[in-house]
Copies of this chain bind each other. A is one copy, B any other.
Amino acid sequence: MELQDVKFEGWPHVIYAQQFSRRWLEQKLFSEARNMRLVVQQRGCDVLKGMRAVSFFYQKSTRTAASFAFAMDYLGGRVVFSTENAREFSGASVGENLSDTIQVLHCYEPDVIFLRYDREIGAEIAASVSDIPIINAGDRQPKGAPVSLFSGQHPTQAFLDVFTIQERLGGIDGISIAMVGDLANGRTVRSLSYLLGKFKGVTIYYVSPKNAQMLPDVKDYLNRRDVKWCEVTDLREVASLVDVVYQTRTQRECGGEIDRNNYSLGYFMMDGTILKMMKPNSIIMHPLPRVDEITPDVDSDPRAVYLKDQVKAGLYTRMALLKMILAPSA
């Protein structure tokens, strides 16, 4: 069984982007997400009435946690317990601790668990001991650890990213995209790459310093799919070619660091220079939060979607996902 054939159906968990088929994305997730836009306009519904979620974050991410909380709420469910910084004592054998914790939460019988994990392949460990749906809200492999096809992902971020592209560009087949920044440590670019591999004729330009390039598992995957990719160190080389610039943050908290003003490394800033080069109907994305990798003058450009369309897409796709998992027949 090839990974890209793994189906969401049957398995209750949402762990890595590869498990979802193009058909599922287009015929289920996207259409359901469009319905959710209306549900929010109507200020909510009650398809998840009485449903209970746990939001368990080992790493702070207020935006993602808030997005899941509002998704539950607009559907009539509730987050019964949430924590932003779950790690209790550094002395613990981490994997052990996570496995125990999930089994404990399991005893309280929530309907779903949102898990953000800061080390190892947390979402998989959780899924292995739970028959309550685990939704991976971001995990990553430790620096230098052997890379797993499952690890270091943020699938719900990838959902909102492809949905944003679909809605703004009218389709995903044949697009070209520049992913910019610390690609070795970024969760979002990994999951997005895996999802783009489901589509036809996509071209990805990986724009990063030599020491922060995309990891081989993704490249191997893309090579087996209908995706062209290449690596550059200067965003100016590709800015005029792409339909999407996907800018990402330097992963300071992962120990990564890019000096974006050290032009001997390359050119990685999304700024006025790049803006002038970009196509009129292209878009500029960012998973947020940002530090300084997009200059403020970009915000007001109509092509910038990171502060509005992309964030709303996160709410709609998470609502859609929750409805499909918790109330599929509703």
Contacts and interface: CB of A to CB of B under 8 A. Distances in A.
Interface in A84-108: 84-86, 88-89, 91-93, 96-97, 100-101, 103-105, 107-108
A110 B96 CA distance: 37
Interface residues of A, number: 54
A62 interface: yes
B60 A108 contact: no
B289 A108 contact: no
Interface stretch (A22-30, A66-74, A134-142, A150-158): A66-74
A253 interface: yes
A296 B100 CA distance: 10
Interface stretch (A167-175, A222-230, A240-248, A307-315): A307-315
B104 A311 contact: yes
Given A104-B311, A107-B312, A311-B104, A289 B66 contact: no
A311 B78 CA distance: 22
A91 B291 contact: yes
21 contacts: A62-B81, A62-B101, A63-B104, A66-B108, A70-B108, A70-B109, A70-B110, A83-B84, A89-B289, A89-B291, A91-B291, A97-B289, A100-B290, A100-B307, A104-B288, A104-B307, A104-B311, A107-B307, A107-B308, A107-B312, A107-B314
Interface of A: 40, 43-44, 50, 52, 54, 56, 60-63, 65-67, 69-70, 73, 78, 80-81, 83-86, 88-89, 91-93, 96-97, 100-101, 103-105, 107-110, 252-253, 288-292, 296, 307-308, 311-312, 314-315
Closest 6 CB pairs of A and B: A107-B311, A66-B81, A70-B108, A69-B81, A103-B307, A107-B312
